[in-house]
Structure 1
């Protein structure tokens, strides 16, 4: 019979991109929250101690996920050939910022803020896995609502949306300097962790 540690590892593996919420793991493994925390710590240490392991366990928004480790970022980037920080257009980054701070938000509301059509860049962000559709607004036409994904948090190395820089921090900028809300967080060679 497999150990609880082995069961945790295989559950996170088969859960893939979605990961598993703490409560689901507690029920599946028949443990309490404290024991789950101990199992996760042991599995994290086991993977970290193995120089031949390219996997890690991360914790985002009450969900555990098995992902590739930061040390394997370059080979994953080479495999997918999509460095987000280089390939995302300025308009896509602008839209991503708007969604991050104003979510849930419709395309029409994004267009109103920007003054231009955002359809193409929205599709790019969906394809990249940084945003997703999340229901429809209770308004004429029932437009789709967009929100950021857990992968957005993972990619920019945030634990939750509460970690985003405060907009107020940027309002006193008077030198006309452009501000990158994702600077130092979006470096693909440091933070690209493609889910396993």
Structure 2
């Protein structure tokens, strides 16, 4: 179960799990089925084992969805740093855009924030720019829209409505 836990949202493929545990596929499937039943029948466990094609992952049980929604709406979940929000805003308004272009707009290096946003799946690489070095182009993802509760980029405030960049921070709930 520890491997499934640390695999997180990505889960872990059956063959990788079998290799790591050094057991054959049939024994692994039997163990996973036992774990699945154990988690489902344990009334005190808030997690369950699910299989998507050949990938297994631990997820929260559906009956906890209301409580978890309340938790995240209360802002108790992990929040994005101001730097990550700045980078995300730039990408949302200027996509597709390269890291170098983001750095030029911000005046500081942005690779750490970009990595955070990639891991959180709020942005993704979307091709390469046809310039020397062929840098990655970044765009927002469906998770971005879900995270901010919007359906399209048209719902973002118009950039022309800002007198200066400090107002962007105020809109994002920062001071």
- Superposition TM-score tier, normalisation by shorter sequence: 0.5 to 0.7
Q: CA deviation at 1:71?
A: 5.8
Alignment of 1:170 with 2:162, yes or no, is yes
Q: CA deviation at 1:169?
A: 1.5
TM value normalised by structure 2: 0.54
Name the residue aligned to 2:133.
141
1:163 & 1:118 partners in 2: Cα distance?
25
1:135 & 1:121 partners in 2: Cα distance?
19
Cα deviation code 1:115-143 (max 9, x no counterpart): 11111110001111111111000111100
Gap change, CA 1:110 and 1:178, over 3 Å in 2: closer
Could you say what secondary structure the match of 1:179 adopts?
A: helix
Q: CA deviation at 1:177?
A: 5.8
Q: CA deviation at 1:73?
A: 1.3
Alignment of 1:118 with 2:107, yes or no, is no
1:168 & 1:70 partners in 2: Cα distance?
38
Could you say what secondary structure the match of 2:158 adopts?
A: coil
Q: CA deviation at 1:181?
A: 3.7
Asked if the contact 1:156–1:182 (Cα under 8 Å) also holds between the matched residues in 2, the reply is no
Alignment of 1:160 with 2:132, yes or no, is no
Gap change, CA 1:141 and 1:178, over 3 Å in 2: closer
TM alignment of 1:4-153, pairs within 5 A: 72-74=68-70, 83-85=77-79, 88-153=80-145
Aligned positions, number? 111
1:138 & 1:105 partners in 2: Cα distance?
12
Asked if the contact 1:134–1:144 (Cα under 8 Å) also holds between the matched residues in 2, the reply is yes
Larger radius of gyration: 2
Asked if the contact 2:71–2:77 (Cα under 8 Å) also holds between the matched residues in 1, the reply is no
Name the residue aligned to 2:41.
none
Could you say what secondary structure the match of 1:112 adopts?
A: helix
Gaps of 5+ in 1: 1-67, 184-196
Gaps of 5+ in 2: 1-61
Gap change, CA 1:123 and 1:177, over 3 Å in 2: closer
TM value normalised by structure 1: 0.49
Could you say what secondary structure the match of 1:145 adopts?
A: strand
Structure scoring higher RCO (CA < 8 A, sep ≥ 6) equals 1
